[in-house]
Amino acid sequence: MFLSKLFHLSCLLPGLAYCVTGMADELPLTAEERQWLSDHPVIRIAPDPDFSPFEWITKDGVYHGMAADYVWLIEKKLGVRFEVIHGYKWSQIIAMSQQHEVDLLPAVGRTEQRERYLLFTLPYISVPGVLVSSDIHESIEELGSHKVAVVRDYMWDDLVSNLYPDTLIKRVDDLKFGLELTALGAVDAMVTDLASATNMIQQTNINNLHIVSDASPKLGHMELSMGVRNDWPQLRSILDKALASLNPAEIITIRSKWIKFNEPAFWRDRNFWYSLLIALAAVLLLISGFIIWNRMLKNQVALRTRELQSAQKQLMQAEKMETIGRLAAGVAHEVKNPLAIIQMGVDYLSQEIPRDKVTAEVIKDIDDAVRRADRVILGLLDFSRDKKLELKQGSLNDVISSSLHLVDHELRQRNIKAETFLAENLPTMALDANKLQQVFINLFMNAVHAMEQNGELRISSEVKRLEEQADLAHDNGGLFRINEQVIRVEVADTGPGIREQDKAKIFELFYTTKAVGEGTGLGLSVTRNIINLHHGIIDIVNRPQCGASVILLFKLNEGENR
């Protein structure tokens, strides 16, 4: 039995040797290279223990990754055995390779420093370098003197040190730790390759990092080669031929197995945020425009409503005044004739009845009452007369002076001083002198009655430019406008002024603040009507010091309004 097994084994060994030799024979190797393989059946390789997805060592010592798949394919083609040395950090592996304690580094980047102790095959893996950061950066140039992490002794360590000497480099032992430091903000960014970054971010579920492509591109691509100890040039040549012999299907299978680039989330795209901000700005602009337009429309509606309400009030007032005028005319005509008869009776009785004190006082009281009633009737008739004016070019100063002369006796009786400040060369205007004389006499007498004794009456006229909206407080008809030049007349007294509760009613028909029997309540109503017929406005305000001021505004002739 033992001899039989030994016979079968002796037959099997030459077959295995033929298979291995046959695989190597498929490569275009020289005799010297074939002899070298025969002399070195075991080659020590030292993979990076933590360089996924390219290569890494599992906890149970199994070699995995893209480079590992290439290594096992080449091992079959060459008929040698690759002995995996593990249990060391990458920095230790680099030091071991310098001392030729390992023969081959399966996946290593080519740098000037490494060329001193390694021979490199042609690159068989190429991946772009990227910047990984938790902040928004366009490229590594933006980092300036910031802190950047790199894996110790990786090609990025040498590259960043040479290209950006001002950058503060934080060297870490593995990619995972570097990305964690970046996510926590301990460093500003990390430089690595795209495949390693995306793979590790997916594994660790770090969600606050984004990858910045190098637009320069100064980081270039990480090209991985196999690094051979520099005293074994034959092995580098053999590996180049083995890599070149791999068919495209094998290469595609390996790459698709390990490199899976997922599309970055749209919300991590800077252009997405720019577009979103622009869209939001446009929406806000539209909303703001709509709000402004709505408010403008609301203001216009409110203004139009006020204008309609004002017009309605004016219409109602005009209608009321017309009704009152007709009523006043009828009452005046009906009452005036009986009053005339009463007056004649009083005159007759005063001559026929013997004069004693009591009789004389009774007849005098009747006479006073009839005359007061007659004044009311005359006022009503004047209020209800046809409102056509007899207009002629004239000076307001002349009207004021003649009116003041007519009340001079009353002023002297009450010891009231009258001062005039009438503008020289005051422009003439179309006016009814008699009507305006009635206006000023009424205003002067109202002032006299308000002051009673020892007061001061101040009358002024001027050409004035309207500068404040307050000047047009009673311009309900919109006769005047700001910056328009007007003739302004002011009648001011030193009396007690106008009570607040009387301001709104002072121009109403039959409203008076005088004692019973002293006023009819027609004076200011008639005055305002006459001013309105002259296309002017009237306003009464209290003076800051004391007393009241009556302000009259009249339009200038068209040729004089500059």
Q: Which of 385, 403, 437 is the last residue of a domain?
A: 385
Residues 6+ apart with CB under 8 A from 535: 479, 554, 555
**Residues 238 and 167 grouped into a single domain:** yes
Which of 111, 94, 125, 117 is closest to 161 using CA atoms?
Answer: 111
Mean pLDDT in residue range 380-386: 57
pLDDT(449) > 70: yes
Question: Which of the four pLDDT bands, split at 50, 70 and 90, describes residue 14?
Answer: very low
For residue 424, being part of any structural domain is answered with yes
For residue 221, being part of any structural domain is answered with yes
Q: Is the dihedral of CA 510, 513, 515, 518 positive or negative?
A: negative
Q: Which of 268, 299, 328 is the last residue of a domain?
A: 268
Q: Where are the beta strands (DSSP E) in 50-153?
A: 50-51, 55-57, 63-64, 81-84, 104-109, 118-120, 125-133, 147-151
CATH number at residue 478: 3.30.565.10
**Residues 263 and 330 grouped into a single domain:** no
Which of 192, 100, 109 is closest to 149 using CA atoms?
Answer: 192
**Residues 106 and 199 grouped into a single domain:** yes
Q: Which of 357, 385, 413 is the last residue of a domain?
A: 385
**Residues 417 and 371 grouped into a single domain:** no
pLDDT(3) > 50: no
Q: How far is CA 72 from the centre of its chain?
A: 64
Question: Which of the four pLDDT bands, split at 50, 70 and 90, describes residue 387?
Answer: low
Residues in the chain: 562
pLDDT(41) > 80: yes
The reported pLDDT for the residue numbered 519 is 47
**Residues 252 and 153 grouped into a single domain:** yes
For residue 355, being part of any structural domain is answered with yes
CATH number at residue 156: 3.40.190.10
pLDDT(465) > 60: yes
Domain with 286 in it: 269-385
For residue 13, being part of any structural domain is answered with no
**Residues 467 and 549 grouped into a single domain:** yes
Q: What is the dihedral of CA 377, 383, 387, 391, to 10 degrees?
A: 90
Which of 78, 483, 60 is closest to 243 using CA atoms?
Answer: 78
Into how many domains does the chain fold? 3
**Residues 529 and 547 grouped into a single domain:** yes
**Residues 369 and 430 grouped into a single domain:** no
**Residues 187 and 288 grouped into a single domain:** no
Task: Write the Ramachandran bin of 487: left for phi over 0, alpha for psi from -120 to 50, otherwise beta.
Answer: beta
Mind listing the pLDDT tens digit for each residue in 52-64? 888 989 988 899 9
For residue 7, being part of any structural domain is answered with no
Q: Where are the beta strands (DSSP E) in 337-451?
A: 392-394, 417-422, 429-431
**Residues 86 and 134 grouped into a single domain:** yes
The reported pLDDT for the residue numbered 7 is 34
The CA distance from 70 to 350, in Å, is 148
**Residues 308 and 246 grouped into a single domain:** no
Q: What letter does residue 139 receive in the DSSP assignment?
A: S
**Residues 124 and 253 grouped into a single domain:** yes
The reported pLDDT for the residue numbered 529 is 83
